């Protein structure tokens, strides 16, 4: 594929990625809802985010609408990749359009460059590019995060593990570069959330922090507080005193 075609493909992917399904769902369900400001309070700390995403929809309109928005965002990445793959099988142009969609989602031209964080869009792209690797690394990352007693690791380490999977196991340097680019954007977009999480993680229990990290993840946080390795070690030490 020529440079001009790749540029046109990237531009189309960016414009398609700029479609904000979070705003569209909110407009259909609750037109007066403001998604540009969401507040979460954990252990007395109030966090404010301007992310317009499936998470914002879930917090403002409920779980089912948040899930619907997340699925639409995944499809927003998956469909263009599948179309390009059908037109040019095996071409790196799939990765070009995937990267462009994520940029559009994070910085949508239709909405003054105020978008989401790109997590669901990244998942949607990996579901097409390497569904087996995504499933395995997500499970492994979740197990590592649970064992370590860290919601942050549980949520994001699966993405990080995809890099060695793509590089070593799949021997796919181009896909690895795409993933590293996507993870860089993800880290940039989540910088305020990560700062807040670090602030509350040392004081709040995982059950309390799960409200911030997963919205309604009380049971998950409670299980980590009870069965993670740090929790088991703390109980063992307490009994030995």
Q: Are strands 45-49 and 38-42 parallel, antiparallel or unpaired?
A: antiparallel
Distances (CA, A) of 176 to 129, 171, 211: 11, 9, 32
DSSP string covering the chain: --HHHHHHHHHHHHHHHT--HHHHHHHHH-TT--TT-EEEEETTEEEEE---SHHHHHHHH-HHHHHHHHHHHHHHHHHHHHHHHHHSTT-THHHHHHHHHHHHHHS-GGGTT----SHHHHHHHHHHH-HHHHHHHHHHHHHHHHHHT-HHHHHHHHHHHHHHIIIIIS--HHHHHHHHHHHHHHHHHTHHHHHHHHHHHTTS-HHHHHHHHHSS-HHHHHHHHHHSHHHHHHHHHHHH-
Q: Render each residue's pLDDT in the chain as its tens digit; 241 residues.
A: 677 888 999 999 999 999 999 999 999 999 998 888 776 665 566 666 778 888 889 888 988 999 999 999 999 999 999 999 998 887 889 999 999 999 999 999 999 899 998 999 999 999 999 999 999 999 999 999 999 988 888 989 999 999 999 999 999 999 999 999 999 999 988 877 777 777 666 666 777 777 666 555 678 888 888 999 998 998 888 887 7
pLDDT of the residue at 65: 94
pLDDT of the residue at 3: 78
pLDDT of the residue at 19: 95
Distance, CA of 189 to CA of 169 (rounded, Å): 29
| The overall pTM is greater than 0.85 | yes
pLDDT of the residue at 221: 83
pLDDT of the residue at 213: 60
pLDDT of the residue at 47: 67
pLDDT of the residue at 159: 96
pLDDT of the residue at 60: 87
pLDDT of the residue at 14: 97
pLDDT of the residue at 211: 65
């Amino acid at each position: 594929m020529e440079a001009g075609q790749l540029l046109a493909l990237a531009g189309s992917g960016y414009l398609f990625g700029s479609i904000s399904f979070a705003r569209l769902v909110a407009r259909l369900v609750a037109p007066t809802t403001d998604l540009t400001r969401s507040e979460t309070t954990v252990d007395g700390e109030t966090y404010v985010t301007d992310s317009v995403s499936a998470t914002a929809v879930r917090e403002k309109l409920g779980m089912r609408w948040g899930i619907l928005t997340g699925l639409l965002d995944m499809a927003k990445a998956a469909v263009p990749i599948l179309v390009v793959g059908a037109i040019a099988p095996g071409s790196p142009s799939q990765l070009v359009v995937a990267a462009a969609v994520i940029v559009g989602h994070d910085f949508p031209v239709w909405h003054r460059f105020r978008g989401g964080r790109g997590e669901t869009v990244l998942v949607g792209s990996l579901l097409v590019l390497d569904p087996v690797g995504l499933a395995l690394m997500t499970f492994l990352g979740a197990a590592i995060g649970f064992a370590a007693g860290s919601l942050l690791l549980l949520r994001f380490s699966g993405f990080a593990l995809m890099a060695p999977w793509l590089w070593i196991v799949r021997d796919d340097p181009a896909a690895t570069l795409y993933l590293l680019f996507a993870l860089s954007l993800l880290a940039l977009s989540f910088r305020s959330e990560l700062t807040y999480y670090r602030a509350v993680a040392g004081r709040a229990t995982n059950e309390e922090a799960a409200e911030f990290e997963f919205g309604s993840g009380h049971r998950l946080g409670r299980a980590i507080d009870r069965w993670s390795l740090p929790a088991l070690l703390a109980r063992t030490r307490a009994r030995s005193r």
